[in-house]
Amino acid sequence: MSVGDYIRNSQIWKSVFRHPAPTDRRNRVVVMLTNFFLHLHPVSIKQQGIALSYTWCMGGITFFLFLVETITGVLLMFYYRPTLEWAFYDIQALRDVQTLGIMREIHRWAAHAMVITVWLHMYRVFLTGSYKPPREFNWVIGVLLLVLTLLLSFTGYLLPWDQLAIWAITVGSNMAKATPGLGTEGPGFQLFNTSGYELITNASDAKFLLLGGRFVGEATLNRFYILHCVAIPLVVSGLIAIHFWRVRKDGGISQPL
Amino acid sequence: MLNSHPDLTPSVLIGLGWFYLLVFLMNLLWTVRSYKHEGEFKNGVPKASIWAVYSSILMMLSFYHFTYPVEGFLVSMPSGFKDVFDAWFSNPVLFFFLSIAGLVFMIQAREWWIKPTVSWVLLNLSLIFMGLSLTDYDFRQIVGKPDNVPIVAMLFIVAFFTWIYFTRAVDNDRRITQGRPLFEQENNDKVLVWPDLVYTELICMVVLTAVLIFWGIALKAPLEEPGSSVKTPNPSKAPWYFLGLQEMLVYFDPWLAGVVLPSIILGGLMAVPYIDFNKLGNGYYTFKQRSFAVTTFLFGFLPLWVALIVLGTFLRGPNWNFFGIYEYWDVHKVEAANNVNLSEFFWNGLGLGIPKGSTVSQILLRESPGILLTLGYFALLPPILGLTVLRKYFVRMGVMRFLVFSNLILWMAILPIKMLLRWAFALKYIVGIPEYFFNI
């Protein structure tokens, strides 16, 4: 008996993989049903539905980039301290001295790539009419995921705490100040400020909510850090699960009816 | 030895050498393909010979750059072209019109430009344009910024996928006219996901990992000086994917450009499946069967989103002025901006003078022309359109659906409309009530 056979017949191996290697038709079916990571897929699929020139693979790539972001992001969190004192210098150290500092490069480039692949995924889904019934609601979830992808990228933009970061966030968050009704430089906030009592001030408006202060400062850094590393990824993970589940439930990958 | 191109460091020239080498290799493959498939001219010379000559020029160009030609002959964009380009073609008006014209051309001439040879020539032209322009210092400054490299890549990627779309759509449209089955319906047996899909996914992941690692080594992520709330950079730009929205700030106040319009874009996107009543074109590429939907989407994505990002990233410099791609970002460039409100046009045009006063009714009187115009646009146009031009849609969609649809279209149109009004009449606000931050 070869070493390979010995391992494959051991109790440990069999407890992990509950059936022989997927080399024949039966086991290729079984593997899709018993493997946690593969069970997202159907067992069989239309040939044209998985042709690259049809799907462009952009949804899958987006998901893969999300995983890359999660892994590199967790590694970066071991180094990075979200304080005014350290944020910039930790990133600088990642660039100049830390052994796996390239994680930051990969994290940033994968983030840019993810924004682009989300757009391209959406482009493909539109151009093949795949949002049409019965997939309408999954398109809506997809739009939410698009927003969250942009927000993930936007909140991450601040963390290096360099000039590029704080001014991009300043430009972006100045928009919040103009929210109708809820910002001190937007129309309609006076409606809340009747009879001498001011409800919407620059210490209570939408921009303040976003930044945790009147301007981009330490509270903003903390807020964006939590949003970027915990809050938004949690929501995104949930929505991704629903998005994938609905792809299956709404009839699998789209095909001519 | 005096360097006649002080900004063309050895690394730039070597980089150009690699660039041309890549273009050469692409065209070498193309020459082989052409030799196999494209036959001969009348005199018996293979058509591939043109590509062979072109490829060998590229090869020589590549090797020439590797020799680091310090002095003398340098293959670059002619300075006459650069001057003309910066002087005549570099303004937001022309940029916007050209992007619209490009879209119209793309749709109208789709059967022509998707032909392999034509699209290959177009690709080569854009690559050569890039290569020649990269010898320009100011062009390199803006295109070579690490954060901007993905945007340049995105342009080529979006163009590529648009080409794929039109290729498959034109093919399917022909099949539909001829009564043949769709491309997606041919050879469409069921296959097992293991191995047919999981291996594609695996290879895709391996390639992407390699690309990301290579990209991470080749290009350092930007890190500027430590953040300081005192030193304002000029220009201050939002992250690149929001630059289309930042560009809207030129034409609208923040409450519209930064809050209302983005919300409407997202709401409109979510509404798409519930508005589009067309049952055709579900799950396959086609243009003819859903020309209106596709044209609208392409208009929103290409000229109004991608092109505005390009404009915001590459062409907006200090003080948010517009700069040509070969132009130095001069902080002191001055552009006159004397924009006038609609109310001033109206009351001065009537010879009455602008109504004064700051009570609500006085303000409403002053701005009444703009307010009526805006109300009319959003309230009267939908029913008028529904009874005339868009009657067909109104009948099939029903009242609610049609009102949502027509309002979304009207919202989408306000950006181009405001742009045109600004460029043609220097119009500042249609409704200008700065007292209440309500400017449209």
> Which one of B220, B249, B280, B284 would you mutate to disrupt binding with A, by most A Cβ within 10 Å of its Cβ?
B284
* ipTM attached to this prediction: 0.93
C-alpha closest to that of B29 among B95, B99, B123, B136: B123
Are B168 and A53 within 8 A, CB to CB?
yes
Q: Which of B158, B227, B232 shows the shortest C-beta gap to A161?
A: B227
Above 60 in pLDDT, residue B5? Answer: no
C-alpha closest to that of B404 among B263, B261, B272 = B272
Residues in Cβ contact with B381 at an 8 Å cutoff, skipping those fewer than 6 apart:
B406, B410
Q: Are residues B181 and B153 in the same domain?
A: yes
Report which DSSP code applies to B369: H
| B348 within a domain of the structure (yes/no) | yes
Query: Distance between CA atoms of B343 and B138, rounded to whole angstroms?
Result: 42
Q: Is A163 at the interface with chain B, CB within 8 A?
A: yes
The yes-or-no verdict on residue A195 having pLDDT over 80 is no
**Residue B262 within any structural domain of the chain:** no
Between chains, do A167 and B225 touch, taking CB under 8 Å as contact? Answer: no
Torsion of CA A150, A154, A156, A160, to 10 degrees: 150
Whether A23 contacts chain B with CB within 8 A: no
B437 closest CB neighbour out of A38, A143, A185: A185
Residue B38 DSSP label? S
pLDDT per residue over B14-64, tens digit each? 889 999 999 999 999 999 999 998 888 888 888 889 999 999 999 999 998
Taking an 8 Å cut-off on Cβ atoms, the answer to whether A57 and B200 are in contact is yes
Q: With respect to residue B431, please indicate whether it lies within any of the assigned structural domains.
A: yes
To the nearest whole Å, the CA of B267 is away from the closest chain A CA by: 9
Mark B94-122 as b/e (b = at least 16 C-beta within 10 Å): ebbeebbeebeebeeebeeebeeeebbee
Q: Residues B180-206: pLDDT tens digits?
A: 999 999 888 999 998 899 999 999 999
Instruction: Please indicate, yes or no, if residue B420 is contained in any of the structural domains.
Output: yes
Q: Residue B221 contacts by C-beta under 8 Å, 6 or more apart in sequence?
A: A95, A104, A105, A108, A109, B146
Chain B partners of A157 at a C-beta cutoff of 8 Å? 239
Please answer yes or no on whether B438 and A185 come within 8 Å at the CB atom. no
Question: Are A56 and B161 a contacting pair, CB within 8 Å?
Answer: yes
Both B59 and B93 in a single domain?
Answer: no
B213 with B327, same domain? Answer: yes
CA distance B121 to B125: 6
CB contact (8 A) between residue A109 and residue B150: yes
Same domain, residue pair B169 and B57: no
Distances (CA, A) of B16 to A254, B5, B140: 43, 14, 12
Question: Terminus-to-terminus CA distance in chain B, angstroms?
Answer: 60
Please name the residue of chain B whose CA is at the shortest distance from the CA of residue A26.
Answer: B192
Q: Report chain B residues whose CB lies below 8 A from the CB of A224.
A: none
φ, ψ of residue B225 in degrees (nearest 5) = -65, 160
Give the number of beta-carbon pairs within 8 Å between A and B. Answer: 271
Tell me whether residues A64 and B436 touch, CB distance under 8 A: no
Domains and CATH numbers, chain A: 1-44 (no CATH), 45-249 (1.20.810.10)
* Backbone dihedral angles phi then psi of residue A76, each to the nearest 5 degrees: -65, -35
Q: Which one of B75, B98, B116 terminates a domain?
A: B75
What's the distance, CA B64 to chain centroid? 34
The answer, for A41 touching chain B at a CB cutoff of 8 Å, is yes
Give me the mean pLDDT over the A37-50 stretch.
90
The boundaries of the domain holding residue B138 are: 79-221+284-335
**Secondary structure element (H or E) that encloses residue B438, with its range:** strand B438-439
pLDDT category at B1 given cuts 50, 70, 90 is very low
Of residues A52, A163, A183, nearest to B233 (C-beta): A163
**Contact: B197, A162; criterion CB under 8 Å:** no
Q: Which residues contact A31 (CB under 8 A, 6 or more apart)?
A: A19, A22, A38, B194
Shared domain for B171 and B313, answered yes or no, is yes
Chain B residue closest to A170 (CA)? B238
Q: How many domains does chain B have?
A: 3
H or E element in which residue A44 lies: strand A44-46
CA-CA distance, B275 to B286, in Å (whole number)? 19
The answer on pLDDT for B73 being more than 70 is: no
Decide if B350 is inside a domain.
yes
Domain boundary among B75, B93, B123: B75
Question: What is d(CA B126, CA B120) in angstroms, rounded to the nearest whole number?
Answer: 10
Of A8-12, B113-117, B327-331, the range with the lowest mean pLDDT is B327-331
Strand partners, A162: B226
The partner residue sitting opposite A127, judged by closest CB among B205, B219, B294, is B294
Residue B209 sits in the same domain as residue B148: yes
Q: Are B402 and B394 in contact (CB under 8 A)?
A: yes
Secondary structure of residue A151 in the 3-state scheme: helix
Q: Are residues B71 and B84 in the same domain?
A: no
Number of C-beta neighbours around residue B392 at 10 A: 9
Half-sphere exposure of B235 (CA within 13 A, CB side): 23
Scanning the structure block, which residue is given the tokens 């009207």?
Answer: B410
A179 vs B: CB within 8 A: yes
Rounded to a whole number of angstroms, the distance from the CA of B83 to the nearest CA of chain A is 31
Contacts of B227 in chain A (CB under 8 A): 88, 161-163, 165-167, 216
pLDDT at B121: 96
Going from the C-alpha of B56 to that of each of B14, B18, B20, the distances in angstroms are 18, 15, 11
CB contact under 8 A, A113 and B186: no
pLDDT, mean over chain B: 89
Q: Which residues of B touch A163 (CB under 8 A)?
A: 224-228, 231, 233
Identify which of A101, A113, A102 has the alpha carbon closest to the alpha carbon of residue A65: A113
Q: At what angle do helices B149-178 and A102-127 cross, to 10 degrees?
A: 20
Residues of chain B contacting residue A92, judged by C-beta atoms under 8 Å apart: 223
Tokens representing residue B274 in the block? 């519930």
- CB within 8 Å: A28 and B147: no
Q: Do B437 and A187 touch (CB under 8 A)?
A: yes
Q: Enter the tokens of residue B141.
A: 């400054």
B118-164: pLDDT as tens digits: 999 999 999 999 999 988 888 888 888 888 999 999 999 999 999 99
Half-sphere exposure of B129 (CA within 13 A, CB side): 14
Q: Among B47, B75, B103, which residue terminates a domain? A: B75
> What is d(CA B312, CA B308) in angstroms, rounded to the nearest whole number?
6
Q: Does A19 touch chain B (CB under 8 A)?
A: no
CB pair distance less than 8 Å for A109 and B201: no
Establish if B313 belongs to a structural domain: yes
Q: Could you tell me if residue B255 is inside a domain? A: no
Contact B426, B338 (CB under 8 A): yes
Residues B145 and B115 in one domain: yes
Q: Residue for token digits 């933009």?
A: A157
Residues in chain A: 257
Q: Kindly determine whether residue B197 and residue A113, on different chains, have CB atoms separated by under 8 Å.
A: no
Name the residue of chain B whose CA is nearest to A39's CA: B193
Estimate the crossing angle of helix B92-108 against helix B291-301, to 10 degrees.
Answer: 150
Closest CA to B362 of B433, B286, B268, B288: B433
* B337's tokens: 């901006």
Say which range, A55-69, A164-178, B96-110, B281-295, has the weakest mean pLDDT.
A164-178
Identity of the residue in B191, B208, B224 whose CB atom sits nearest the CB atom of A164: B224
Q: How far is B302 from chain A (nearest CA, A)?
A: 11
Give the one of B205, B253, B433 whose C-beta lies nearest to A64's C-beta. Answer: B205
Taking the CA of residue B224 and the nearest CA in chain A, the distance in Å comes to 5
Contact (Cβ atoms closer than 8 angstroms) between residue A109 and residue B215: yes
Tell me if B230 is assigned to some domain.
no
Pick A188 or B291 by higher pLDDT: B291
**Which DSSP category does B226 fall into?**
B
pLDDT one-digit tens code per residue, B228-240: 888 888 888 889 9
The residue in chain A having the minimum alpha-carbon distance to the alpha carbon of residue B207 is A61
Distance CA B304, CA B96 (A): 9
Q: Nearest-CA distance from B70 to chain A in Å?
A: 32
Does pTM surpass 0.90? Answer: yes
B353 and B295 fall within a common domain:
no
pLDDT one-digit tens code per residue, B51-71: 999 999 999 999 988 887 765
Select from B188, B196, B239 the Cβ nearest to the Cβ of A154: B239
Same domain? For B302 and B206 the reply is yes
Percent of chain B with pLDDT over 90: 54
Same domain membership, residue B353 and residue B325? no
What residues does B311 pair with on adjacent strands? none
Q: Is A73 on the interface with B (CB under 8 A)?
A: no
Statement to judge: residues B291 and B435 lie in one domain: no
| Residues A168, B239: C-beta atoms closer than 8 Å | yes
